[in-house]
Amino acid sequence: MTRVEITPHLYRFFPMLENREICIPEVSVAEVIQAIDRIAPGFCDYILDEHGALRRHIMLSINETVVIDRKTLSDRIPDNGTLFIFQALTGG
Tens digit of each residue's pLDDT (9 = 90 or more) over 6-25: 999 899 999 999 999 999 88
pLDDT at residue number 87 = 84
Neighbours of 92 (CB within 10 A): 2
Enumerate residues 6+ apart whose C-beta is below 8 A from 41: none
- Cα dihedral across residues 30, 10, 41, 16: positive or negative: positive
37, 30 in Cβ contact below 8 A? no
Q: What's the pTM value of the predicted model, to 2 decimals?
A: 0.88
The band of 91, judged by pLDDT with boundaries at 50, 70 and 90, is: low
Residue 4 has pLDDT above 90, yes or no: yes
Q: What does the pLDDT average to over 57-86? A: 93
